[in-house]
Amino acid sequence: AGCSSDCDALKRQIRTEVNALQNWCYGRNTLTVAGISNLLGQSLYARRAFPFYSFCVLAGIEKTGHARVHVYDAIGSHERVAIGCAGNGKEMLQPILDRMFSSSTVDETKGVSAHDEDNIRVGQIKTLLRDGRAVEASKQRVGLRLEPPVETYVLCEIKEASGMLIKAYRSVAEREISIGDNIVICIIKRITKSTNGDDSVFSMEVVRSKLKDH
């Protein structure tokens, strides 16, 4: 999202870098989702003096089969998240998606729902409540690496995820005039895995749905 010319220039630059790595003997090993996420961040940061007016979301599937999503600002700072969005209506859409794809807020010690009237009073919280997707501090450090403080994946079926996306976009489209009339969902699946474990075969399914009826 952002200036169309800057976004096109950035895509051409990243596409050139990826093509160069594909044709380089050792560069092919860096063509993972994590590697391309670092490449995009470095490309954006290299233009920090005169940055691309682009706000990116990068998503892909790792060799392990897990999805990976990164969100970026204009100078390359990025974060791995479970759900990310960019562009018009982002401020309204992001909390809706977070709520739809997250588990209900639970009590830290007893697992009590945040909607339990016995635990929430008007103007007074009886028990400590926390986000159901939050990761405990003791589990955030893995070796010398720090993991994000919230889970970076969601567990749901494809049809369920597509339905929630369409519902969320329709809610925002009713309130934001700049949102388009249609939504296009690209579903990436890993079909098979090669015998040597280096490459996998992926497929992409495109689903279109209307957001508005004029």
DSSP 130-158: E-TTBPPGGGTEETTEEPPSB-S-----H
Distance (Å, whole) CA 31 – CA 190:
16
* Coil, strand or helix at 206: strand
pLDDT digits (tens, 9 = 90+) for 67-104: 888 999 999 998 888 888 898 888 999 988 888 887 54
Structure tokens at 95: 């909390």
pLDDT digits (tens, 9 = 90+) for 30-72: 788 888 999 999 999 999 999 999 999 998 888 777 788 899 9
pTM metric for this prediction? 0.72
User: β-strands 120-121, 145-146: how paired?
Assistant: unpaired
